Every structure is written in C-alpha cells, then in structure tokens.
Amino acid sequence: MISLRAALLAASVACAAAFAAVTVRADSPLANQSAAADQESSALLQKILQQIVGGRTVSPLEDNALATWEGVRKRAQEMTPGTARALKNFVSLSEGRAATERQAGREMVAFDLQAFADMAQELLQHRVMDTAPPASQTAAVQATPPATAAPLTNNVPVPLIEPAAARVKDPIADTVIALAVPKPSAPPPAPPVLDQTSALLTSRGDAMLAIKDISAARKLYEQAADLGSAAAAKGLARTYDPRYLQKLGIIGMRPNITMAASWYDRAAALGDHESAQRLQELDAMVGTTLPVTNTR
C-alpha cells in the first residue's frame, strides 16, 4: 500500500511537469511571434493616430497614415485576438479624438480620424465574417435533433423545402441569344485594401474640391484613380470641365477640355456611365471626335 508521503511526492512531481509544459508552450516561438505581431499592430495604430493629428494623412510620401495603414492591413490578414483588441481600441480612440477635433474646428483632421476608424471597423467585420460558420453547416446543425430524452414529437426539425427545379431551356435557343447579345464580362473586384485607400483619397478630394482647393483635389483624385476608382477619375475630370468649374463658381481657373475628356474616358472605362455621357457632350461641344476608346 502506497504511503501518504509517496502519494504527495508523486502529486508534486506531476504538478511540476504540468507547469513546465505550460511554460514551454507559453515561451514557444509561435507564441512569441504572435505576441510580437500584436505589439507591432498596436504600435502602428498608435503611429497612425499621431500622423493624422500631425497633418500627415496622405503626405509626405514616406511618412503618412495611409502608408502605415498598409502595415496594419498585412498583419490583420491573420487576425489574432490581440490585434482585434488593438483595432477595437483604435476605433474607440479615433472616434473620441474626432469629436474633440471637430469641436476645435479642425474638420479635416476629424474627417480623417473617422475615416480610419471606419476602415478599422471594416477589418473587424471581415474577421467576424471569416470566423462565422458557413450557412450550410449552421442549417445542418439546426436540422439535427438534439440527443435528449424529450419526446420525439418535440424534436422533429422543420422540414427543409427544396426550391423548385429550374426549367430546362433549349440549349440551341440559348446559344443563338448569347451570340446575338454578347454580355461583357464583369471586371474583377478590387482588393479590399485598394477599395479602402481609394475611397479615403476620393473623399478627401471631394473635401478639397468643396473648399475650392483645386490643386489639392487633383492630387488626391489622381492617386485614387490610379488605384482604380471611377469616382476619382470623374472628380478629376470635373476639375478641368468648363461646365463644372462654372457651377463651382471658381474664378481664375482655366478649363481644359482635352484633359477633361481624357479623365472622363478613364472613368467610363472603369464603369461610370455618367462620364461616358459627358464625354459625348464634350465631343459635340468642340465639334471633333474625342478619344472614346474604353466606353464599351
């Protein structure tokens, strides 16, 4: 029969072994890498706040909030709990600081803070969507009756009603229609990071245009258009359009129909139908054929 002292000794050895195993797991390279990534994300988000408040949202080229945000985006592709917490704190801090800046009359800083808070919130929403189970799995789990002792009649799942089968069409008729009316292929969707960056640049361009700072608006619009934003290309075209400049009441800024047509053509190629229509109007205005190469 094992003595009490021997049993206590064995229990102590087991506890020490378990503690050592936990310590090894906590100090493993993978855990250290995860902690380092979370700290880097927090540092980058703090840097973004400082850059925005310091007026460095989109410039200078090597030290601006948009460039720093790219690092946050890369680290958030594999969202860890620590990075998620850092993003949530960033959203709270940015929105609070935006309210303070707005009260102080610094509307552009407040706008940028809120814009980055919205982008961080979007990253968190993508994480929720990525971690949520597929709808098919959820339906299967819900349809499976729980293994309990309750009466069978109380555990019968709601029957799933299958949709009616689609009518089989004549393949020959479909082929004729497809040949007669070809459908253009949809452009591939832009990566989320480009969508966020171009949307921010376009919004800031709109803000600059509203206060009639044409030079700043053009720079912002051009950066966003280079990322594939049709709205930015149209906004840039309008800064050269005589009708739009007159509508804004800008004095001393000479229009440039050729530049307007070029950017309207770019916007039309990116899918903006209003730009394609305005391009035709400019064509009729000058009485010559302006290049319309991408409106199909």
- On whether the CB atoms of residues 255 and 242 are closer than 8 A, the answer is yes
Within a domain: residue 116? Answer: yes
Give whole-number Cα distances, 282 to 37, 122, 208, 265, in Å: 53, 39, 25, 11
Given the structure tokens 């594939």, which residue do they identify?
228
The SS3 of residue 257 is helix
For residue 33, what pLDDT is reported?
Answer: 63
- What are 12-65's pLDDT values in tens digits? 656 555 544 444 344 555 556 667 768 888 999 999 999 999 988 887 877 888
For residue 283, what pLDDT is reported?
Answer: 85
Q: How far apart are CA 268 and CA 282, in angstroms?
A: 14
Within a domain: residue 226? Answer: yes
Within a domain: residue 36? Answer: yes
Given the structure tokens 């000794």, which residue do they identify?
9
For residue 202, what pLDDT is reported?
Answer: 92
Centre a 10 Å sphere on the Cβ of residue 163 and count the other Cβ atoms it contains: 5
Within a domain: residue 276? Answer: yes
- Co-location of 24 and 127 in the same domain: yes
Where in the sequence is the domain holding 86, given as residue range(s)?
19-131
Within a domain: residue 249? Answer: yes
Length of the chain: 296
Q: How far apart are CA 161 and CA 13, in angstroms?
A: 60
Total domain count for the chain?
A: 2
111: CB partners within 8 A, 6+ apart: 98, 203, 204, 207
Within a domain: residue 222? Answer: yes
Within a domain: residue 13? Answer: no
Q: How far apart are CA 72 and CA 90, in angstroms?
A: 11
Residues of the chain with pLDDT under 70: 1-34, 37, 128-194, 287-296
Q: How far apart are CA 76 and CA 70, in angstroms?
A: 10
- Co-location of 103 and 197 in the same domain: no
- Co-location of 127 and 197 in the same domain: no
- On whether the CB atoms of residues 232 and 224 are closer than 8 A, the answer is yes
Domain endpoint, select from 98, 113, 131: 131
- Co-location of 39 and 125 in the same domain: yes
Average pLDDT across the chain, whole number: 74
Handedness of CA 39, 41, 47, 50 (dihedral sign): negative
Residue 254, domain CATH: 1.25.40.10
Q: What's the one-letter identity of residue 25?
A: R
DSSP letters spanning 113-125: HHHHHHHHHHHHH
What region, left, alpha or beta, does residue 198 occupy, with left being phi > 0 and alpha being psi -120 to 50 degrees? alpha
Given the structure tokens 């378990």, which residue do they identify?
18
Within a domain: residue 84? Answer: yes
Domain endpoint, select from 109, 131, 153: 131
DSSP letter at 63 equals: S
- Co-location of 118 and 214 in the same domain: no
Give whole-number Cα distances, 194 to 69, 70, 108, 163, 220, in Å: 11, 10, 21, 38, 14
Domain endpoint, select from 131, 146, 173: 131
- Co-location of 99 and 24 in the same domain: yes
